[in-house]
Amino acid sequence: MSHSDWLQSVRANDGRKWEIEEIDGKSYYTEVRKNPYGTDQETAKAKRAKENRQKLAKRTAKEGKPYAWRQGYNICTGQYTGGNSVPILSGSTFNRKKPKKYPAKKSVELPVHVMSKRSKGKIRDKAQAFFAAAKERTFVTLTFIDHIDDRAAKKVLNKFLTVVRREVKGFKYLVISEHQQERPTKTIHFHMLANKKLPVGRYNPLWVLQQYNAGLVGHRANGEAISGGEIATRYNDGTMGEALNPFQIEKAYCISAIANYLTKYVTKQSTGEEFGCLTWHCSRKVSRLFTSQEVTPSTFRYMTSFSNYKVDRETGQCWAPAVLTGAFYTLVFVNNKQAARKLLAMLEAVNRWILDDEEPDRTLKDAYQRYGSGQKKFDPSTIVEGIIAKTKFLAHVPDTKKVEAQ
């Protein structure tokens, strides 16, 4: 473009931008396009990016709430959200966003896992949600007959659980790792909460056999080693309990007992203690259980009332729930587990569907009708998305036993 044309455009102030380009020693004026790789029209991707920038500038999301109140099995929280959207149910893998896939980095160093404060809290919440949703509850302790490192112990456990899952239909579990502090070697052992009763006569010999297959050797009380041939014989004739009993099982009676039982073992672990394997893990169905539910502000008044007091049955002494208040949050700790469960009816109903293999995204319609919805029109394909996206509530969730009796 010539100098006169450029000057005319500048005087007209038509909004176009120019740059000087030299070709063969002569200067030319070239128009700078808005999109050098395409047309000047704004693309759909650019429009979405512009809308997102505008929302970010407002510091609020669409239909967002400035405050959120949540009730869990161990704590009731109220916090400032900044207007961000909050799900009705949380604590499940359904709430997770799909992570971005990056190329794996090759590392010579083995990973180290730590029992953090957050891990301890997640263990308590997930275990109590599992207990409330399961029909049968057992607590299993798996110890080792000889010292073994953490990674090898995890391999033995995985082989054992593979056999159990194949033999026991619908078996779900939650496993917690612990180091035995009373031993100089601090050998690892596992505590497991399960939804099925495992016969000791079958799974005690299996647990011992898996350890012998890994190269461990058991000893009698006098220090004498037990040979592999004797173990094979006892495994076949069912007399393994006369020599070794590293498998122990007991019934879990109530949710308060399981909370105290787990707290006993979890708090024994020093925060920051390193493990060569995962500090805890669970089956896929248990990881999908929800652990907290959105509630109303009146829940705080209920949780600070006498309904949430802790009472000593022997002395009659009462303890009020602890309350922590900060600039952007308020926490009320749960003393009475049954008081908290009265507010979690919808959460426990959804968790029962998940454990009963009636997942909301598959056969939710039959499960919803069985637990008694009282609704004629129901769309099973959108209920879970609606619950997570805070658009649907289960207003009426009656007792399961009463519904089946009717």
pLDDT tens per residue, range 280-330 = 889 988 998 989 988 888 888 888 888 888 888 788 888 888 888 888 888
pLDDT digits (tens, 9 = 90+) for 219-265: 988 889 999 999 999 999 989 989 999 999 988 877 766 766 666 66
Amino acid, single-letter form, for residue 283: S
Is residue 298 helix, strand or coil? helix
Mean pLDDT of the residues in the chain: 76
Residues in the chain: 406
Could you report how far apart the first and last alpha carbons of the chain are, in Å?
88
More confident residue, 8 or 70: 70
Q: Where are the domains of the chain?
A: 3-32, 113-287
More confident residue, 24 or 150: 150
Give the pLDDT of residue 265. Answer: 63
Give the pLDDT of residue 211. Answer: 93
Give the pLDDT of residue 375. Answer: 45
* pLDDT confidence tier of residue 143, bands split at 50, 70 and 90: very high
CATH number, span 113-287: 3.30.70.1910
d(CA 311, CA 276): 41
* pLDDT confidence tier of residue 338, bands split at 50, 70 and 90: confident
Give the pLDDT of residue 88. Answer: 79
* pLDDT confidence tier of residue 62, bands split at 50, 70 and 90: very low
Nearest in space to 266 (alpha carbons), one of 282, 279, 254: 279
* pLDDT confidence tier of residue 64, bands split at 50, 70 and 90: low
Structure tokens at 24: 């063969």
* pLDDT confidence tier of residue 79, bands split at 50, 70 and 90: confident
Residues 6+ apart with CB under 8 A from 259: 73, 74, 124, 127, 128, 337
d(CA 142, CA 248): 7
Give the pLDDT of residue 69. Answer: 87
pLDDT digits (tens, 9 = 90+) for 354-373: 887 655 444 344 444 444 44
How much of the chain exceeds pLDDT 70, in percent?
66
Nearest in space to 255 (alpha carbons), one of 316, 344, 330: 344
Q: How many CB atoms lie within 10 A of CB 17?
A: 10
Amino acid, single-letter form, for residue 392: K
- The whole model's pTM is what? 0.69
d(CA 123, CA 262): 8
For residue 112, pLDDT beyond 90: no
